[in-house]
């Protein structure tokens, strides 16, 4: 559908965005093409940032002056799957009922995207002195890497922003910190032999058990170390093994064993500490036991996803701005990861602040309240007024 110069309300824009099935395993290009058509109809300059295979893309658009840094409103376009969930109606058709808007991605986080896009005509009418930039990314729900190509261009061929607001659902509370999320796949390679003669082989399962026990010890230490700020729930870095698979039979020394694990680190945690400690244990203990009867085995650990944490920056441009726009007087933390740490790592003051509650995300009949959409629109209008005055 063409939207040539057509004004869409935030709810109408949300309905359109929800209608695109942008589950992370799918392409988001139909949504991207719709957004590009909409931006063209309002003469908003933008760039498309495709991934390596060309089946997904991010968009970076600028409303206002093109020659200076401004404020980035950052949202992702991908959503989590609906497979196996019991939805009352089609998850990709927005349903408005009893003061709520239901649909996959309605709260996480197409409502924020819809607000930023729907209010473009108002941004233009405000005659902005400071530009408002809109970044729409992909793959946030799996890797948080879909925003990287765009961020790399900021401060190079695109002006460096003064602040970034990542619009994950926080009920419009201003979040200045969250933990990192770092995940790994570890595979232990052993050698098959009859279990009655263990000296003829090496058990990958037994060695994996040693490593998991070490991760448990590290997790206990992280719990004891705690969170000096007292702001996080739980108040410590967590270490968790979620999946383990290995062996073929009780009486066969296991040839392979793999396990999928993660840590969610406080912003102060060195992201290399836990994997380095596990590697040291492997070299000094686990491999020696695995290969005590011969050079039978090895261990490989592969980094899967690394979402950086967001560290508090008291008094930053992003914090000061967002607190004023949201009518808040203090910041919060959240337990989930976001793209915000990537902006911060690039030297851009960043906070997380968006409409709706994370409690409604990722579940059947996901929804955002109409009240939160209205509050989000008021937030955006205050941003436009601020950017028009300075």
- Residue matched to tokens 């590290």: 218
The token duo for 124 is: 């233009």
Burial class (CB in 10 A: 0-12, 13-18, 19+), 195: middle
Which has the closest alpha carbon to 366: 141, 90, 152? 90
pLDDT at res. 2: 43
Q: Do 18 and 105 contact (CB within 8 A), yes or no?
A: yes
Q: Do 144 and 338 contact (CB within 8 A), yes or no?
A: yes
Which SS3 state, helix, strand or coil, does residue 281 take? helix
Alpha carbons 181 and 264: distance in angstroms, whole number: 5
pLDDT at res. 3: 45
pLDDT at res. 1: 39
pLDDT at res. 390: 84
pLDDT at res. 190: 98
> Among 21, 78, 319, 339, which one carries the catalytic annotation?
78
**Helix H or strand E encompassing 305:** strand 298-307
- Angle (CA) 245-249-250 rounded to 5° is 105
pLDDT at res. 104: 98
> Among 21, 108, 140, 319, which one carries the catalytic annotation?
140
pLDDT at res. 151: 97
**Can 140 be counted among the known catalytic residues?**
yes
Q: Do 175 and 336 contact (CB within 8 A), yes or no?
A: no
Domain boundaries, the chain: 10-178+310-389, 181-307
Q: Taken in order 236, 139, 73, 356, is the CA torsion positive or negative?
A: negative
**Can 279 be counted among the known catalytic residues?**
no
Given CATH 3.90.580.10, say whether it is the number of domain 10-178+310-389: no
> pTM of the predicted model, to two decimals?
0.92
The token duo for 265 is: 């680190």
* Ranges under pLDDT 70 in the chain: 1-4
Which residues lie below 8 Å from residue 356, measured CB to CB, with a gap of 6+?
106, 107, 108, 109, 111, 169, 171, 368, 369, 372, 376
Q: Taken in order 360, 361, 367, 373, is the CA torsion positive or negative?
A: positive
- Angle (CA) 262-267-271 rounded to 5° is 50
Fold of 181-307: Alpha-Beta Plaits (3.30.70)
pLDDT at res. 6: 86
The token duo for 376 is: 């989000």
Alpha carbons 216 and 234: distance in angstroms, whole number: 16
Alpha carbons 312 and 324: distance in angstroms, whole number: 17
Alpha carbons 212 and 85: distance in angstroms, whole number: 32
Q: Which residues pair with 77 in a beta bridge?
A: none
């Amino acid at each position: 559908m063409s939207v040539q110069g057509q004004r869409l309300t935030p709810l109408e824009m949300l309905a359109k965005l929800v209608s695109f099935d942008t589950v992370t395993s799918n392409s988001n290009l139909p949504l991207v093409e719709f957004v590009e058509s909409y931006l063209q109809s309002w003469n908003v300059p933008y760039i498309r940032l495709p991934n390596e295979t060309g089946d997904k893309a991010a968009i970076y658009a600028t409303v206002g002056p093109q020659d200076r840094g401004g404020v980035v409103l950052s949202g992702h376009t991908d959503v989590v799957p609906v497979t196996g969930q019991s939805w009352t109606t089609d998850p990709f058709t927005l349903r408005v009922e009893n003061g709520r808007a239901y649909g996959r991605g309605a709260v996480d986080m197409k409502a924020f995207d819809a607000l930023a896009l729907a209010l473009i005509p108002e941004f233009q009418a405000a005659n902005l002195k400071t530009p408002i930039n809109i970044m729409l990314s992909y793959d946030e729900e799996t890797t948080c890497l879909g925003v990287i190509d765009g961020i790399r261009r900021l401060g190079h061929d695109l002006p460096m922003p003064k602040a970034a607001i990542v619009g994950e659902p926080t009920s419009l509370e201003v979040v200045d910190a969250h933990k990192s999320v770092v995940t790994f796949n570890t595979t232990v390679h052993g050698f098959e032999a009859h279990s009655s003669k263990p000296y003829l082989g090496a058990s990958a399962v037994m060695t994996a058990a040693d490593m998991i026990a070490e991760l448990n010890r590290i997790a206990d230490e992280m719990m004891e170390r705690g969170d000096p700020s007292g702001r996080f729930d739980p108040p410590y870095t967590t270490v968790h093994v979620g999946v383990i698979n290995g062996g073929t039979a009780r009486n066969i020394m296991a040839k392979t064993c793999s396990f999928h694990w993660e840590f969610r680190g406080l912003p102060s945690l060195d992201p290399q500490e836990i994997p380095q400690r596990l590697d040291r244990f492997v070299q000094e203990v686990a491999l020696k036991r695995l290969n005590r009867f011969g050079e039978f085995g090895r261990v490989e650990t592969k980094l899967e996803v690394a979402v950086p944490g967001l560290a508090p920056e008291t008094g930053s441009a992003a914090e000061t701005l967002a607190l004023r726009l949201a009518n808040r007087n203090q910041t919060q933390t959240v337990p989930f990861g976001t793209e915000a740490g990537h902006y911060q790592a690039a030297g851009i003051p960043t906070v997380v602040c968006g409409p709706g509650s994370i409690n409604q995300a990722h579940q059947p009949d996901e929804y955002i309240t109409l009240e939160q959409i209205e509050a989000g629109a008021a937030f955006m209008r205050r941003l436009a007024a601020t950017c028009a005055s300075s």
